[in-house]
Amino acid sequence: MLQSSPLQKALAAGQTVLGPFCKMSDPTVYELAGLAGFDFAIIDMEHGPLGFETAQQLVRTCEMAGISPVIRIPANRGEYVQRALDIGAHAVQVPEINTAADAQCLVDAAKFHPEGRRGVCRFVRAAQYTRLDKQEYFGLANRQQQVIAHIEGRTGFDNLDAILAVDGISVIFIGPYDLSQSLGIPGQTDHPRLQETMADIVRRSRAAGKAVGTFVETPQQAAHWMAQGVGYISYSVDVGLLLQAFTSVVGSVRGKK
C-alpha cells in the first residue's frame, strides 16, 4: 500500500541501501530480511517461480517487516510494470534496458501524466483501494515509486548515454552476470574487462545524476563498489544464502573445512 518508502528516502539522501534477491515464496524469508537489517528485498519474478498474487502478499510482508518491497518483473512490458506498481511495490526493477526507446517505454508505463502514460486505476492496493484522494495518489506514485533499469548487455552499454538522458529512471542497475556473457566471458565476474566496463557505467551514471546499483556475492565485492559510489547493493539470493549457511553448519559439525 503506497506509503512513505524507506528506499526512496534513502536514495534521495544519497545513502547506501542493501538487500537480497528473493526467489522463495514463504513470507518468513522477508520477515527475516527485515529482522536482519536489510533495507529492501527484491521479489524476483524473472528468474524465480513467483506470480503476481504471491508477490502481492510478499509486498505486504516486506512493509510489515519495515523494508521496501522491490519487484523484478520478467520483461520490460507495460502490463508487468503496471501490475507490480499497482500491488504496491516501492520500486519496479526491469531487465534488459538496451536503448533509449526501452527506457522511455519503461518510464511511460511506470509514471502517470505528465511524466508518463501509466494506466489509471484507483481500485488497487497502491491507491489504498480508492482511500487516497485521486490527485494525491497520482502525485505520490510518481514521486515515491522508484524505477530501476538493468544495464546488462553490450547493447545497453553502447547506448548508455542515450538511456541516461531519459527522465524518470531512478537507479541504473548493472547486471554483472549477463553483462559478462555479452562481453564473451560468461560468469567471470572478476574479469578485468568486466570490472572496467562496470566502473565506466558507474562513472557515467553518477555524472548524469543517477543512483547506481549492482549485484554482489561477498562483503569484499560490496565494499569495492560502495567505494566507487554504488548506493543500491543487491547482496546475493535467498536460496544461495540459505545453502551457504546450511553447508557451513554441516562442514563445521562434520569437521570439514
- Secondary structure (3-state) at 68: strand
∠ CA 172-31-83, rounded to 5°: 50
Question: CA geometry: angle at 185 spanning 181 and 190, to 5°?
Answer: 105
C-alpha atoms less than 13 angstroms from C-alpha of 121 in its C-beta half-sphere: 13
Cα–Cα distance for residue pair 2/63, rounded to 1 Å: 10
> Which residues are within 8 A (CB) of 233 and not within 5 positions of it... i.e. 6 or more apart?
16, 17, 18, 19, 213, 214, 216, 222, 225, 226
Q: Which of 47, 90, 113, 224 is catalytic?
A: 47
d(CA 93, CA 72): 4
| Residues paired with 18 in a beta bridge | 233
Phi/psi of residue 214, nearest 5 degrees: -160, 175
Instruction: Phi first, then psi: give them for residue 209, nearest 5 degrees.
Output: 85, 15
Verify whether residue 47 is a known catalytic residue. yes
Catalytic residues: 47
